[in-house]
Amino acid sequence: GDKVKQSPSALSLQEGTNSALRCNFSIAATTVQWFLQNPRGSLMNLFYLVPGTKENGRLKSAFDSKESYSTLHIRDAQLEDSGTYFCAAERSGSFNKLTFGAGTRLAVCP
Amino acid sequence: EAGVTQSPRYAVLQEGQAVSFWCDPISGHDTLYWYQQPRDQGPQLLVYFRDEAVIDNSQLPSDRFSAVRPKGTNSTLKIQSAKQGDTATYLCASSFDSNQDTQYFGPGTRLLVL
């Protein structure tokens, strides 16, 4: 089965609303990275997480290694937040080798 | 600071042809990664290097794919005798080191094999 499972697979939001994306891991993840791939295909790093929480502007992310999941919260969604969000997990002892999920496609509408 | 650069941005081949992709990582980053991203999927790691040494190439189809990083800076990924199933975006990334560090991605090369 999927080692990194993302949900939902697709999402549509009204501008100004909030949402949460989730990753569940079936591997022992030690760190998690979240990326946004814009419509042109560029992958931008949003967060690098050890177990705990980080916040950056309207984005907040948490990683719970014991319960094997991570979340990404988007507050006050804007049109430029549209794209595909990927989470990727590093397995213990794998020297920064990342396993990616299949992504969540987000469309923010006016 | 310049980001990760890749070339070419696009390539179109007939089956059986060869192609090379080139990557220049962020200056000072000792670890370099090559990923394959099929359409509508997440990136999948093919091979990665620390300096000039391969750390892991277990997911690289060794019969047709090869990757080198001879001076520990730029890297080349080559596909001999491309197949239609190789159609994907090939992404290069780099990180400061291979010990739990943020990965920074280049813009990718979109490959179409006809």
CATH of the domain at A40: 2.60.40.10
Chain B residues closer than 8 Å to A50 by CB = 100
Q: Residue range A10-15: average pLDDT? A: 96
- Using the beta-carbon criterion (under 8 Å), do B56 and A97 form an inter-chain contact? yes
CA distance A16 to chain B (A): 27
What is the pLDDT at residue B97? Answer: 76
Strands A52-56 and A19-25: unpaired
Report the DSSP pairing between strands A98-100 and B44-50. unpaired
Per residue in B99-109, pLDDT tens? Answer: 768 899 999 99
User: Which two three-digit tokens encode residue B97?
Assistant: 């080191």
Q: Which residues between 61 and 100 in chain B have a beta carbon less than 8 angstroms from any beta carbon of chain A?
A: 89, 91, 93, 95, 97-100
Task: Report yes or no: A103 at the B interface, CB cutoff 8 Å.
Answer: yes
| B109-113 and B10-13 beta bridge pairing | parallel
Element (H, E) at B79: strand B75-79
pLDDT of amino acid B1? 62
Encoded amino acid at A98, one letter: L
In terms of C-beta density within 10 A (0-12 exposed, 13-18 middle, 19 or more buried), how is residue B41 classed?
middle
pLDDT (mean) for A53-75? 97
Predicted confidence (pLDDT) per residue in B16-46, tens digit: 999 999 999 999 999 999 999 999 999 999 9
Q: What is the pLDDT of residues A85-103, one digit of tens each?
A: 999 999 887 778 899 999 9
pLDDT digits (tens, 9 = 90+) for B68-82: 999 889 999 999 999
SS3 readout for chain A: CCCEEEECCEEEEECCCCEEEEEEECCCEEEEEEEEECCCCCEEEEEEECCEEEEECCEEEEEECCCCEEEEEECCCCHHHCEEEEEEEEECCCCCCEEECCCEEEEEEC
pLDDT at B98: 65
Quick check: B91 pLDDT over 80? yes
Does the CB of B58 have a partner CB in chain A at under 8 Å?
Answer: no
Total count of domains within chain A: 1
Q: Which domain holds residue A70?
A: 4-109
Q: Cα separations (Å) of B96 from B33, B73, B88?
A: 12, 12, 26
Is the separation of the CB atoms in A44 and B103 below 8 Å? no
Query: CB count, 10 Å around CB of B64?
Result: 14
Dist. CA A40–CA A42, nearest whole Å: 6
pLDDT in tens, B41-77: 999 999 999 999 999 999 998 889 999 999 889 999 9
List of domains in chain B: 5-113 (2.60.40.10)
Q: Select the more confidently predicted residue: A2 or B60.
A: B60
What integer pLDDT is reported at residue A26 of this predicted model? 94
Confidence at residue A40, expressed as pLDDT on a 0 to 100 scale: 84
